[in-house]
Structure 1
Amino acid sequence: MRNSEKGALSHSNREIFGVDFHDFMIKEQNDTSMELASEFGISLREVKNLKKHLNRS
């Protein structure tokens, strides 16, 4: 299997929309979408996209 710079970056970077995925998962359980958006400085649409992405994986 070939290793590439792009592949290494995708595995080492756990952020989507500039949000740490694991931190988001922990806070998602206790906070509302509005609280998450203000906490991470993202829009409500981006919160919904992150929640969709979590359900797929």
Structure 2
Amino acid sequence: MGTQDIYEVCYHAPAAKVVVMHMEAINHCLLTRIELKKFLRQERLDDRVQVPADGEWLEF
């Protein structure tokens, strides 16, 4: 998924919290965490989308 795909998920599921995983892996290396976080700030989605670091655990 790219930035537009993530935007679409957030648009169509406005109450959802989104977690973006497998960043910077071989098959996803075109979009970095830094670029994604910048996009999320610009679109005001950074409060709804989490981009965990490698090995980071999240609890819900």
> Whose relative contact order is higher, 1 or 2, with alpha carbons under 8 Å and at least 6 apart?
2
TM range (shorter): 0.3 to 0.5
TM-score, normalised via structure 2 length: 0.35
Computing the radius of gyration from Cα coordinates, the structure with the larger value is 1
TM-score normalised over the length of structure 1 = 0.36
